[in-house]
């Protein structure tokens, strides 16, 4: 029976993407194969802290939280071979399913009914060399792209990727300032000055509960 390593399962509000503000159950997998300098989930970087669960056990815990939106996140969820099956099972059960992925693994393995939130790593993350930019051609209707920006150089790099791949037309694009770090007011000004069709993406949960609280 398929199993995966899970760091935590909890209910909160969706903090990012076009789904921000909705009640959501988070299934956080354990383990990540990159190391962004601003990572805000270091407790999920290794599999050591993860609990081995069957897909049925995950579904049971999700159902107990009585919320119709589920996000599979990490760590890096696509490291877990059982995640595509979990996503399909969640879709079959009628959930709205999001997958927050670092963008360095092929998203085509995911059920087309799900929504991939693909994080394109900028130079400031230290992990830009790991991007699988072929994922930008694999985006399905309902998928979204996110750039986490450390500074002006990251912003200009991200604008270049957006324009090179025509992402403003192809999908929903989010520009998210590192928190704490880049002032959201500065980023909002840049977006407006350049006439970009992208969304300013703030991590809503950090403003509600604070940046250091886990499990929310």
| Residue 82: partners with Cβ closer than 8 Å, 6 or more residues away | 2, 3, 4, 55
The C-alpha atoms of residue 15 and residue 206 are separated, in whole angstroms, by 8
Region 55-71: what's the mean pLDDT?
A: 98
Look up residue 127 and give its two tokens: 């992990």
Per the prediction, the chain carries an average pLDDT of 93
Q: In the structure, what pLDDT confidence band is assigned to residue 92 with cuts at 50, 70 and 90?
A: very high
Residue 31, pLDDT score: 93
- Give the predicted TM-score (pTM) of the model: 0.93
pLDDT given at position 205: 73
Position 42 confidence tier, pLDDT thresholds 50, 70, 90: confident
User: What pLDDT score does 167 carry?
Assistant: 97
pLDDT above 70 (res 12): yes
Whether the per-residue pLDDT at 98 is higher than 80: the answer is yes
Which structural domains are found in the chain, ordered by start? Answer: 3-209 (3.20.20.70)
Query: Are the C-beta atoms of residues 27 and 6 closer than 8 Å to each other?
Result: yes
Instruction: Please state whether beta strands 51-54 and 115-120 pair in parallel, antiparallel, or not at all (unpaired).
Output: unpaired
**Mean pLDDT along residues 98-111:** 97
- Kindly tell me if the per-residue pLDDT of 215 is higher than 70: no
Buried b (16+ CB within 10 A) or exposed e, 105-134: bebeebbeebbbbbbbbbebbbbeebbbee
- The predicted pLDDT at position 213 comes to 59
CB 175 within 8 A of CB 200: yes
- Structure confidence by residue, pLDDT tens digits, 138-191: 999 999 999 999 999 999 999 999 999 999 999 999 999 998 789 999 999 999
Would the pLDDT of 1 be above 80? Answer: no
Average pLDDT over residues 72-88: 96
pLDDT in tens, 122-143: 999 999 999 999 999 999 999 9
Q: How far apart are CA 179 and CA 53, in angstroms?
A: 32
Task: State both tokens at 97.
Answer: 């399913």
* Mean pLDDT value across residues 12-18: 93
């Amino acid at each position: 029976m398929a199993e995966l390593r899970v760091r935590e399962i909890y209910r909160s509000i969706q903090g990012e993407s076009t789904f921000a503000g909705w009640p959501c159950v988070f299934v956080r997998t354990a383990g990540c194969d990159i190391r962004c300098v601003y990572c805000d989930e270091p407790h999920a970087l290794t599999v050591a802290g993860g609990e081995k669960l069957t897909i049925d056990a995950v579904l049971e815990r999700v159902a107990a939280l009585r919320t119709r939106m589920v996000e599979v996140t990490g760590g890096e969820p696509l490291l877990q071979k059982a995640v595509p099956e979990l996503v399909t099972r969640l879709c079959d059960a009628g959930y709205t399913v999001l997958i927050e992925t670092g963008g360095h693994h092929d998203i085509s393995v995911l059920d087309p009914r799900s929504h991939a939130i693909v994080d394109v790593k900028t130079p400031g993350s230290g992990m830009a060399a790991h991007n699988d930019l072929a994922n930008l051609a694999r985006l399905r209707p309902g998928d979204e792209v996110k750039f986490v920006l450390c500074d002006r150089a990251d912003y200009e790099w991200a604008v270049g990727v957006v324009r090179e791949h025509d992402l403003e037309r192809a999908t929903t694009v989010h520009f998210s300032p590192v928190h704490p770090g880049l002032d959201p007011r500065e980023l909002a000004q840049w977006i407006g000055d350049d006439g970009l069709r992208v969304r300013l993406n703030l991590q809503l949960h950090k403003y509600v509960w604070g940046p250091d609280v886990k499990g929310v």
